[in-house]
Structures are given as structure tokens and as C-alpha cells.
């Protein structure tokens, strides 16, 4: 994983982390694929929340695509 890309993704995740933590959840970076797919793990309350897919797309993915050039998609992994 490219260290600069990883750092940019982590910084973008920090901007949305307070919103997740306010609801008892969090997000962890698992990996970034060469194709620009960011794999994350939703933790805490986010791990089993029925709204987690919406949070992933509307929150996490949107923030990462906006902030980090080259990111194409975000996927949740277990």
C-alpha cells in the first residue's frame, strides 16, 4: 500500500470519524487495492446497523472520493 495514499485516506477518515463515533461506531482502514478500492471495516455500533450501507456510500465513500484522488470505491469487509 502506497504510504502517501494511505496517509491521505486516513486523514479523510479522520474528518468523518467524529460523526460515526457520535453514534457509537467507527471505521478502520483495511487496505487500498491497486484499482483504487478502499476496504474498510465498520466497528462498534456501525458493524450491525441497518443504515451502515448508506453511511458507507453517502458518508465514507463520498468523503474519500472527494478528498483523495484515485479512489474509485469503498467497500466494507469483515
Sign of CA dihedral 22, 13, 57, 53: negative
Give domain 3-76's CATH architecture. 2-Layer Sandwich (3.30)
Summarize pLDDT for 18-56 with one digit per residue, the tens. Answer: 999 999 999 999 999 999 999 999 999 998 889 999 999
Would you state the pLDDT for residue 71?
Answer: 96
* Mean pLDDT confidence for 73-78: 93
Task: Report domain extents, the chain.
Answer: 3-76
β-pair type (37-44, 25-32): antiparallel
Would you state the pLDDT for residue 78?
Answer: 83
Would you state the pLDDT for residue 1?
Answer: 62
Predicted model pTM? 0.90
Amino acid at each position: 500500500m502506497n504510504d502517501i495514499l494511505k496517509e491521505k485516506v486516513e486523514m479523510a477518515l479522520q474528518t468523518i470519524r467524529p460523526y460515526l463515533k457520535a453514534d457509537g461506531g467507527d471505521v478502520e482502514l483495511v487496505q487500498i487495492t491497486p484499482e483504487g478500492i478502499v476496504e474498510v471495516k465498520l466497528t462498534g455500533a456501525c458493524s450491525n446497523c441497518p443504515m451502515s450501507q448508506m453511511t458507507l456510500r453517502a458518508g465514507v465513500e463520498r468523503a474519500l472520493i472527494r478528498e483523495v484522488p484515485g479512489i474509485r470505491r469503498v467497500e466494507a469487509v469483515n
